[in-house]
């Protein structure tokens, strides 16, 4: 079997801005927890729902050793 591959990266950088009188870890990174618990799962669901509409492509999560807190790779396979 011959396989060709092309990579495409969509990167999200999370930032939080605080007022000048902010003392440090007061918020206990609640903004990161909100991303991990609410936004990221909802975004992934939307992505997979959209990809499923294209039946000639099969999508799955591929783990190349990076933590899912830092990276999620979605592999798309089109068979001929």
In order, the DSSP letters of 45-75 are: HHHHHHHHT-TTEEEEEE--SS-TTT--EEE
Residue 21: what pLDDT?
87
Q: What is the domain count for the chain?
A: 1
Query: Is 66 a domain residue?
Result: yes
Query: Is 13 a domain residue?
Result: no
Residue 27: what pLDDT?
78
Separation of alpha carbons 18 and 8, rounded Å: 33
Domain that holds residue 80: 56-80
Residue 73: what pLDDT?
95
The dihedral region occupied by 24, where left means phi > 0, alpha psi between -120 and 50, and beta the remainder, is: left
Token pair, residue 11, equals 């990167």
Query: Is 62 a domain residue?
Result: yes
Contact partners, residue 60, CB within 8 Å, separation at least 6: 74, 75, 77
Query: Is 77 a domain residue?
Result: yes
Consecutive 10-residue runs of the chain (80 residues): their mean pLDDT?
94 93 82 96 97 96 91 94
Query: Is 39 a domain residue?
Result: no
Query: Is 70 a domain residue?
Result: yes
């Amino acid at each position: 079997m011959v396989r060709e591959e092309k990579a495409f990266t969509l990167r999200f950088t999370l930032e939080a801005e605080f007022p000048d009188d902010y003392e440090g870890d007061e918020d206990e990174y609640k903004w990161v927890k909100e991303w991990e618990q609410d936004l990221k799962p909802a975004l992934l669901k939307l992505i997979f729902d959209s990809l499923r509409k294209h039946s000639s492509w099969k999508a799955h999560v591929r783990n190349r050793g990076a933590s899912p807190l830092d990276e999620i790779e979605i592999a798309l396979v089109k068979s001929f």
